[in-house]
Homo-oligomer: A and B are copies of this chain.
């Protein structure tokens, strides 16, 4: 038994019971973005959050304990993702990666945008030419230290 198996069981329970991430998030008490990442095995649950998940997804006590252990992260099976939706994000990194780097450095100097002190918000924007997906990424700027 490891976290991967718990993730598989959560997804199967979600399919079987017809749940939605937005409702699961309300039960867990976090944003839908964090909650989905956590249920997919990328984040660590507190004891209280794990108890909610245990009931929602009908997990055993041992599976519930696994949710509270820091997981080995990384949700993709291949270095270049094959799924078209996820690939489009990889393409954004591939095509715009050096652009993002240049503009952040121009504004902030040498450093990075944190992927740890980080949040994400995904929203639908109605548009007569076809609705749009709007995603806001917010990460703390961390300057390189000199010493």
Binding site for B on A (CB under 8 A): 1-2, 8, 11-12, 15-16, 18, 20-22, 30-34, 36-37, 40, 42-44, 62, 65-66, 69-70, 72-76, 78-120, 122, 124-125, 127, 129-147
Contacts and interface: CB of A to CB of B under 8 A. Distances in A.
Contact of A147 (B33, B76, B102, B103): B33
A51 B72 CA distance: 29
A62 B17 CA distance: 9
A75 B91 CA distance: 10
Contact of A12 (B1, B32, B42): B1
A115 B88 contact: yes
A144 B33 CA distance: 14
Contacts of A94: 73-76, 82
Contacts of A92: 115, 118, 120, 137
Given A80-B80, A125-B138, A95 B112 contact: no
A63 to B, nearest CB: 10
Contacts of A31: 147
B139 A88 contact: yes
Contacts of A36: 99, 102-103
